[in-house]
Amino acid sequence: MTFRHHDAGEDAYACAEIALAVMREAGAPDIASLARRMNLTRERAGQEARSPDGIAARALRGVAPSRPRVPLLHFVVRGSSGTPYDVRLVETRDGPRLRCTCAGARFRPDCRHVRALANGEIDALLSDNPGDVAALAGLLQTG
């Protein structure tokens, strides 16, 4: 997939993805909490600062997780061009699931990195936790 800069829809999608990733990393339940944690406020001449309430904030409230996802396990894997990707085992409504940061995971949750780790493969593992890969199969089956 190619990204067209200055295309309103793609720019909005990219901004939302970035905001959601920052929210997850910060453990913020919504964009207003994230703004407060980062000491970011909007101020207008003659008005007090208020929490974000624009269309982006409303959209993020609709898709933001109700509680932060704390990774049960974290792996770093090498992509085909050598790029490192984070793969995290997180608790979801449907049980524990692996989530990858590669571009392929945007369109398919079981990207090749997720499939490899779920199958116990450690060839592309960059993090120093092969024992966690061995335990992964049991954790995924209990979910």
**Low pLDDT (below 70) residues in the chain:** 1-5, 41-71, 141-143
Cβ within 8 Å of residue 72, ≥6 positions away: 88, 89, 90, 91, 96, 139
State how far the Cα of 99 lies from the Cα of 86, in Å rounded to an integer: 8
Q: What is the DSSP letter of 123?
A: T
60-95 per-position pLDDT tens digit? 666 655 555 556 889 999 998 999 999 999 888 888
The structure tokens listed for 63 are 């898709």
Q: How far apart are CA 65 and CA 133, in angstroms?
A: 26
Q: Count other C-beta atoms under 10 Å from residue 119's C-beta.
A: 10
